[in-house]
Amino acid sequence: IIDSGIHLLLISLGYRIELNQIPTAPIYTGYETLKSPMVGPLPQALVLTSIVIGVCVLSLAVALTINAYRHYGTLDVRALRRLRG
């Protein structure tokens, strides 16, 4: 929940409010896009990087869980206490 909240905060910080103009995506397609305000691309890049890191951490946790189940045959925490050194 905190991760998603931070994503929303970063995206909202990148939004620019201009007088009577709607900001466009930060994609340069020619001279016409220079006339209109653009949304900040840096917060979008940070959110995308954060999402990728979150997926990597989740996949590592799933891999560790699968290996623990294969080795001990259970995911019961009391049975896995043998892992403590």
What pLDDT, on the 0 to 100 scale, is given for residue 22?
67
d(CA 25, CA 56): 27
Mean pLDDT of the chain: 81
Cα 14 from Cα 2, distance rounded (Å) = 19
pLDDT in tens, 21-38: 666 667 766 666 566 667
User: pLDDT for 38-61, tens place per residue?
Assistant: 777 788 888 999 999 999 999 999
pLDDT at 19 (0 to 100): 62
- Predicted local distance difference test score (pLDDT) of residue 40: 74
pTM of the model: 0.67
Per domain, the residue ranges of the chain are: 2-83
pLDDT (0 to 100) of residue 14 = 73
- Helices of type H across 1-85: 2-14, 31-35, 41-72
